[in-house]
Amino acid sequence: MKRIEFWQKCDIKSLEALLSGTKEISVFKNIQVVYLKAKYQMNSDSIAKITGFSKGYIWQIHSNYRNNGEEAFIFGKRGGVYHRNLTAQQEGLLLETFTTQSDDGQILEVSKIKKKYEELAKKEVNKSVVYRMLSRNGWRKITPRPTHPNNEKKLLIAFKKNSRKWYRRQD
């Protein structure tokens, strides 16, 4: 069937029902692209001005609808974790073993956490994977301050000038 014949024989009532029944904006706009073409025989330039889509994307939606019908508007959820080594629970259990050390104020080395991570994942990973896991679970790097926050440079310089230890050497 040619494209022109397809759009002339398209079921507009089912598209109207789909438009009124959708709650997601992205699905609504995709149905609207097909509806404008089917009911008003609009070209892709005018549909692009109305919907804000590019002409190429409009052509893609039209082609998908011609090939698959109403199934073209059923989308899976976007995003997600596709390449995960450990689940969120496994990460939590892994970090629980190190929380007692961190609560006691001991220094934790990422290399030790990395070794445990690799044992659970059963493969080698880069250090950045472990750092991302730590930040995902709310861990952060805490380091001591280089100077006290209430230090005043003028007083420090005056102390150095007036102190006996600073300007007289004791042998």
Structure confidence by residue, pLDDT tens digits, 3-48: 778 888 888 999 999 999 998 898 999 999 999 999 999 999 999 9
| Confidence class for position 105, pLDDT limits 50, 70, 90 | confident
pLDDT for the residue numbered 112: 94
pTM of the model: 0.49
pLDDT for the residue numbered 67: 92
pLDDT for the residue numbered 157: 86
Q: Residue 31: which residues within 8 A CB-CB, separation 6 or more?
A: 15, 18, 19, 22, 73
Average pLDDT taken over every residue of the chain: 87
State the Cα–Cα distance between residues 163 and 171, nearest whole angstrom.
16
| Confidence class for position 169, pLDDT limits 50, 70, 90 | low
pLDDT for the residue numbered 168: 54
pLDDT tens-digit series, residues 53-89: 999 999 999 999 999 999 888 877 777 777 889 999 9
Alpha helices in the chain (DSSP H): 3-8, 12-21, 25-40, 44-51, 55-68, 88-103, 110-121, 127-136, 153-162, 164-167
Query: How far is C-alpha 92 from the chain's CA centre?
Result: 20
Instruction: Give the mean model confidence (pLDDT) for residues 93-100.
Output: 90
> Where exactly are the structural domains of the chain?
3-73, 88-136
